[in-house]
Structure 1
Amino acid sequence: MTDWTDPDTFAQALENADTREKGNYFEDFAEGDLLAHDLGLTLSRPGNEGWMSQTLNHDPAYWRTDAAHERGFDEPPIHPDYLTAATLGITVEDLSEKGGYFLGRTDVRFPGAPVYPGTELRVESEVVSTATSSSRPEYGIVTWRTRGKDAQTDDVLCSYERTNMIPRREPVATDGSGAAASGSEDEAADGPDLPAEFVVPDGGYFEDFVDALERAADRDAAVAYRHERGRTQDDVTVAALPLATLNTAKQHHNVDVMADSPSGDIVTYGDVTRSTALGHARSDERTWREVGFDDEQFHTFVAAGDTVYAFTRVLEAEDEVSRGASDRAGTVRFEHIAFNQDDEPVYSGTRTAEIRKRSD
């Protein structure tokens, strides 16, 4: 009788065995396809608090009932960062399980009412476009519009558009040109064209951001500052948080496969990097409500042992909000940049949030 556990026998068995593959290749996606993802997730308070605590998002309205009531919530709701990460995580098995680079995401919106623990999340994605990568013939580029819905009511809770490189079954011939470089050598030699002065808000209320923008107006100045906190990536942030959102991508869990990748190791889920940077930023402001996110990009890998810091630019402030509470908050648009211990940008994006006003 064959001993399948004999090392030589098992090595031969592995060599002869076909692999039951997971995920889809680039060729499996066609513009207009609608994918209803089988996986679902019940958004729970422990899951919400686990995500928030590990990414340093400590807004009391998402932790305490009295603070939630003050903000107009029935109870501590699900945080938009956790909702966004869970919505994307559910899609991974169908969309990006094969690997490939997360190129960016935009138009992140939360069109419905507040989301509370116990909500069952169902997700669908539509293929917006597919394209050939001229610089990486073994990959194609796919963009999806994804919607996370309440499984009971069919209300859209979170939606966004994201773009990934996706491996091809067979590489294609390209001219290898890649993206054209911007600027000339003379421009590069002149160095970056930064403002002469960086203005820092005096506090985290709406009026502080308005005042800082007014101080910077009509001068060679920008409202820009870095945040003191940092969060070093560990086993929880690199592996546990993605699994908690059903994100099974090999980039976060398979050291063996990733050893031969450009990163050389498993990497942090982009939404962990993003949420950590946003947590640093929110600790220096009085957030009332998140409105949306645009132009999100991921610039380089983040792995275990890397530390995520954050830098913020204040772009504009308006004395109005999208739904009620106009006497309690105003709207501010930010650009946030996450960077690592080597001062390399790892994530960037614009964020619109309602920021609490000072009470008289």
Structure 2
Amino acid sequence: MDYTDTETFGTILDRTATREKGNCFEDFSEGDRIEHAPGLTLSNYANELWASQTLNHDPMYWRTDAARAAGFEEPPVHPDYLLAAVMGPTVEDLSEKGGYFLGRTNVRYHDQSVTPGTELRVSSTVESTATSSSRPEYGIVTWETEGKDAETGDPLVSYERTNMIPRREPVATDGGESAAADGGDADSGEGDADDTPPSEFITPDGDRFGDFAAALDAAADRDAAVAYRHERGRTMDDVMVATLPLMTLNTAKQHHNVDVMADSPSGDIVAYGDVTRSVALGHARSDEATYRELGCDDERFHTFVTPGDTVYGFTRVVDAEDTHDHAGTVTFEHIAFNQHDEPVYSGTRRALIQQ
């Protein structure tokens, strides 16, 4: 028999089973700890590719003189690349089966002096499992993930994320449509009496901590908010949608298998959430004198981003606290939106901004 004969091979494919990858909802139990086998060694090439393509061009991540002026001995890896490189190897074990990425919170950077050549070890712990009230074919799982330096064991970055995960067998539910119960956007404001936008939006005069604090003072006791749009936009291309996630060992077919995704709700491959997020933060950082990243919370991904979509950025300044001689702590709310002015990502972020 000639296995490469087209008609014969089609018959063979119809009769053979597929060895599947990934885990279903039933494979996760609260307290389970997963050591993720692939461990990236952070490279200068991948770091620069990620930062350049997502428009994160802060010189302290590129030039020795700028890095030393910011308190580093040499240019560190960009925190967005570090976070994506920790999350990428978890996909095969946690979410490769598919299902909605409901959100991530408690993103914390424990060491920002990580340099190229650092080898990662990544582990996740199942925090909780729950039944989806509206989608009986899915369950909801939350994991805490931590990336460590393989040589020293020191923690580098950690976070919690929640996904809908396919079940092997659907379960009976009450058919409820609660967004909050299913991890959806519980802060949509629907039915909230205070959902009218402020009458005035104030833009800071500059990119320093004092500029943000002064703008917040100006907005105080007025129907005003400190918020502004960023001028730059980034159109998603093949490098952004396929190359960057694969570079972090993210094996999700949603980012690189056009054949499979042709019949999906998006109709095409979709961008890795961390790429969309990094573009949004790159736009924001271009208008601020960032000194250190502290962390992010309440991150949500609102709709698909596909090749050809353009991602823009919007920022609201929530709080500014004078915490250091050389920098102050600013809390931002960031929203990325596409060419149709539809939000695609949102999250709160805390960063030290230079005085």
Q: Mark the CA change 1:341 to 1:186 in structure 2 (over 3 Å): closer, same or farther.
A: closer
Counterpart of 1:158 in structure 2 is 157
Counterpart of 1:323 in structure 2 is none
Alignment of 1:192-271 (within 5 A): 192-271=195-274
C-alpha separation between the residues in 2 aligned to 1:280 and 1:288?
16
SS at match of 2:46: helix
Runs of 4+ in 1 over 3 A off after TM superposition: 180-183, 185-188
TM-score, normalised on structure 1?
0.94
C-alpha separation between the residues in 2 aligned to 1:355 and 1:191?
31
User: What do the CA deviations read for 1:169-217 (whole angstroms, capped 9, x no partner)?
Assistant: 111121221216989x9958x9941111000001111010011000000
Structure 1 position 156, deviation (Å)? 0.6
Q: Does 1:294 align with 2:297?
A: yes
Counterpart of 1:347 in structure 2 is 345
Counterpart of 2:117 in structure 1 is 118
Does the 8 Å CA contact 2:76/2:112 hold for their aligned counterparts?
Answer: no
5+ long unaligned stretches in structure 2: 181-185
User: What do the CA deviations read for 1:328-350 (whole angstroms, capped 9, x no partner)?
Assistant: 11110000000001111100000
C-alpha separation between the residues in 1 aligned to 2:254 and 2:138?
16
Q: Mark the CA change 1:289 to 1:99 in structure 2 (over 3 Å): closer, same or farther.
A: same
Counterpart of 2:66 in structure 1 is 67
Counterpart of 1:331 in structure 2 is 329
Structure 1 position 112, deviation (Å)? 2.9
C-alpha separation between the residues in 2 aligned to 1:113 and 1:269?
23
CA RMSD of aligned residues (A): 1.7
Structure 1 position 93, deviation (Å)? 0.7
Q: Does 1:308 align with 2:311?
A: yes
Counterpart of 2:145 in structure 1 is 146
Does the 8 Å CA contact 2:241/2:272 hold for their aligned counterparts?
Answer: yes
Counterpart of 1:4 in structure 2 is 3
C-alpha separation between the residues in 1 aligned to 2:273 and 2:153?
27
Alignment of 1:18-33 (within 5 A): 18-33=17-32
Counterpart of 2:76 in structure 1 is 77
SS at match of 1:240: helix
Counterpart of 2:14 in structure 1 is 15
C-alpha separation between the residues in 2 aligned to 1:58 and 1:256?
34
C-alpha separation between the residues in 2 aligned to 1:142 and 1:275?
24
User: What do the CA deviations read for 1:86-120 (whole angstroms, capped 9, x no partner)?
Assistant: 10001011001111111100000012351111100
Letter in 2 for 1:93: E
Q: Mark the CA change 1:353 to 1:180 in structure 2 (over 3 Å): closer, same or farther.
A: closer
Letter in 2 for 1:310: G
Percentage identity across aligned positions?
72
SS at match of 1:229: strand
Query: Which has the larger displacement, 35-44 or 252-261?
Result: 252-261
Give the aligned length. Answer: 349
TM-score, normalised on structure 2?
0.96
C-alpha separation between the residues in 2 aligned to 1:335 and 1:23?
34
C-alpha separation between the residues in 2 aligned to 1:30 and 1:240?
33
5+ long unaligned stretches in structure 1: 321-325
Counterpart of 1:168 in structure 2 is 167
Does the 8 Å CA contact 2:79/2:112 hold for their aligned counterparts?
Answer: no
Structure 1 position 304, deviation (Å)? 0.3
SS at match of 2:232: coil
